Amino acid sequence: MKIKVSAPGKLMLLGEHAVVYGYPCIAMAVDKRLYVTAEIIDSKGDETIAPQVKESRFVLEAIAKFKEKYNIKQSVRIRTNGDFSHNVGLGSSSAVTVATFKAISEIFNKSLSLREIFDLSYEVNLKIQGVGSGFDLAAATFGGTLYFIRGGKVIEPLGNETLPLVVGYSGTKADTPFYVRKVAETFKRRQTEIKDILRKIEALVISGKKNILNRDYKNLGKCLTENHLLLQKLGVSIPKLDAMVEAANKAGAWGAKLSGAGGGDCMTALVSNDKRTAVEEAIKKVGGEIINVTNNAEGVRIDQ
Ligand code: MEV
């Protein structure tokens, strides 16, 4: 038996870094997917062919964890392909982990709930990376737009609206663990100041949530820009991302910010239809690459 499963990539709309400290964030699943084909094989060891993921360890750990949980001795082969590579920061490791759990649970007839898939994936993620809130795994598992608290303490869907987003890639890959540690080190030295920034980010996430539910994109845009300024204060932005955010705002976006750990990857802007082309051109002019994605993608699913 062979099965094909897919899980979506992610983008962070509001609240990165603060979410690592127990504050909420807003995460989005995007319509670029990572596909996993799984089959049981007659071999001594498991096999993975996973060119889209930086580390096939995520796949191997997921298989090992699953086999241990159900005391399974047979071997599996996992192949991946995808709409995106690990370079752009859309979360290929999280999507592949979630998709692997779903795929192998199907071929071994163990029906894991979405919550179980998330929890198992989070354990794999913590084992390999040691840090991380798990927001990317929640987006890959549940899809849509989510209000999220670390470890899945809260995972709340925020309706089914497609947000008017423009996404620009900075051209460099972000090193998430590096930036998470960087904030942690600054936190140790300047606790009061950093706590104040994180609380301000929390307030923006709470306003942002209301704005999403009310479809008030103008005010949601303001939350994005203010969040970007706070991320600058945290020391995680870089001149290229700042230039892209500034260009988007100057060209008439409702607001813009970096998305993710900082240091590279993507930025995102909220724009009205009549400003979309101008904003995209402005981002390109400062060296950004427009990535064609929309939010509100379906979570992990069986494709074949
Ligand atoms: C990275 O995309 C977002 C961070 O908040 C880390 C995390 O939540 O795991 C910096």
- Give tens-digit pLDDT for 246-258: 999 999 999 999 9
The share of the chain scoring above pLDDT 70, in percent, equals 99
In order of 90, 180, 259, the CA distances from 169 in angstroms are 10, 20, 10
Residue 21: predicted pLDDT: 97
In order of 66, 218, 221, the CA distances from 215 in angstroms are 40, 9, 11
Q: What average pLDDT does the segment 146-159 reach?
A: 97
- Non-local (6+) Cβ contacts of 286 within 8 A are 240, 243, 244, 246, 247
Q: Which of 20, 122, 257 to mutate to test the pocket of ligand 1 (most atoms within 8 A of CB)?
A: 20
For the domain made up of 165-291, the CATH class stated in words is alpha beta
- Residue ID of nearest Cα to ligand 1 atom 6: 132
Residue 87: predicted pLDDT: 73
On whether the CB atoms of residues 18 and 148 are closer than 8 A, the answer is no
Structure tokens at 224: 């994005």
The model's confidence at residue 187, banded by pLDDT at 50, 70 and 90, is: very high
Distance 19 CA to ligand 1 centre (A): 7
Would the pLDDT of 178 be above 80? yes
- Whether 135 is in the pocket of ligand 1, judged by its Cβ within 6 Å, is yes
**Cα gap 223→128, rounded to integer Å:** 33
Beta bridge partners of 148: 25, 155
The question of whether 274 is a catalytic residue gets the answer no
Q: Which amino acid is at 217?
A: Y
Q: Which atom belonging to ligand 1 lies closest to the Cα atom of 12?
A: 2
Is the pTM higher than 0.75? The answer reads: yes
Structure tokens at 130: 């040691």
On whether the CB atoms of residues 79 and 50 are closer than 8 A, the answer is yes
Q: What angle do CA 280, 25, 165 make, to 5 degrees?
A: 15
Beta bridge partners of 48: 78
**Cα gap 100→108, rounded to integer Å:** 12
Q: Would you put residue 179 in left (φ > 0), alpha (ψ -120 to 50) or beta?
A: alpha
CATH number of 2-160+296-302: 3.30.230.10
Q: What is the pLDDT of residues 264-275, one digit of tens each?
A: 999 999 999 999
Would the pLDDT of 85 be above 80? no
Helical segments of 37-171, H only: 57-70, 92-107, 114-129, 135-142
Q: Which of 90, 133, 170, 186 to mutate to test the pocket of ligand 1 (most atoms within 8 A of CB)?
A: 133
Q: Which atom belonging to ligand 1 lies closest to the Cα atom of 259?
A: 2
Phi, psi of 262 (to 5 degrees): 95, 180
Residues in the chain: 304
Domain ranges for the chain: 2-160+296-302, 165-291
Q: What average pLDDT does the segment 81-104 reach?
A: 89
Distance 18 CA to ligand 1 centre (A): 8
- Identical fold, 2-160+296-302 and 165-291: no
The model's confidence at residue 84, banded by pLDDT at 50, 70 and 90, is: confident
Would the pLDDT of 169 be above 80? yes
- Whether 176 is in the pocket of ligand 1, judged by its Cβ within 6 Å, is yes
Residue 72: predicted pLDDT: 95
Distance spanning both ends of the chain, measured CA to CA: 11
On whether the CB atoms of residues 262 and 240 are closer than 8 A, the answer is no
Residue of 136, 196, 274, 303 marked catalytic: 136
